[in-house]
Amino acid sequence: MPCTLWCSGCLVLPSTTTFLMTEKRKAPGRGLKPLAILTALTLGTAYGMVFFWTPNEADQGFVQKIFYLHVPMAIVTLGGFILGGIFGFIQLRTGDRKWDLRSYVAIHLSLMLALGTLITGSIWARASWGHWWVWDEPVLVSFLIVFLLYSCYQPLRFSIEDPDKQARYASVFAVVAGAFVPMNFAAVRLAQAYTHPRVLGGAQNSMPGSMQITFLLAIVGMTLLYATLWKFEITSKTTRMQLGSIKRRLERDNPGSPA
């Protein structure tokens, strides 16, 4: 028995080693650690500047500092939804399932950030308006509509068992919903937001230099956070698929060996 197992191992080892070397060359986690370090440094610097360098806003005071979290999170959220649509479009053009995975992860992360945006927005609204929500504010309602739209993505996706159909239908949803997202940007630009909390006070409603720098750095940091989480989840899911592929190959090359 030991000899049999040893011989079967000798037969399987070369092909398995070759396969592992091939998968290693395609390792998706390369560069994740330095990206995570850069993200931590950028976010730490940005929010250190929020509390220790930027002045309090003239009208809202200290409460306005949530702006540096809420607005960058909203911007990155909407950008992530659009990115998911772009990946979905590429999947439809190429039929390559890796683009479906990238689209799924982009939308999944954006949904989590969207929830954070709604929570921080409600906190800001309560502090500024005295209400948790204002239904006649187009910016809030349009963002909520986008969130509810994408909340249908995962139930739709996982209600389809066939992998090819799942990827195709999910990609169509991502493209159509991603085309809707710029309407939210247009609403932010065009709506006369009389009710929305004013970010800045003063005669010209202009942002001081320290606030501008901090705000831009917060956007960069939030973008890096999104990229880090996206790469981490892609790495995790790809590694899981690679392990499954290795297991299936071992079972195919050596069907008599124990699982």
**Pick from 204, 218, 221, 219: nearest CA to 53:** 218
Give pairs for 183-189: CB < 8 Å, separation 24+. Answer: 183/142, 184/78, 184/142, 184/143, 184/145, 184/146, 185/78, 187/138, 187/139, 187/142, 188/139, 188/142
Residue 20, pLDDT > 60, answer: no
Q: What is the pTM of this model?
A: 0.78
Each domain of the chain, given as residue ranges in start order, spans 76-199+207-237
pLDDT in tens, 119-153: 998 888 888 878 888 887 777 888 899 999 999 99
Number of Cβ atoms within 10 Å of the Cβ of 202: 12
Residue 55, pLDDT > 70, answer: yes
- The pLDDT score that the predictor gives to residue 248 is 67
pLDDT in tens, 164-217: 899 999 999 999 999 888 876 676 666 554 445 555 444 345 677 888 899 999
The rounded percent of the chain whose pLDDT value lies above 90 is 43
Encoded tokens for 47: 């929010």
Task: Give the mean pLDDT of 47-63.
Answer: 80
Half-sphere exposure of 142 (CA within 13 A, CB side): 19
Residue 5, pLDDT > 50, answer: no
- The pLDDT score that the predictor gives to residue 128 is 80
**Can you tell me the distance from the alpha carbon of 106 to that of 88, in angstroms, rounded to the nearest whole number?**
10
Number of Cβ atoms within 10 Å of the Cβ of 180: 16
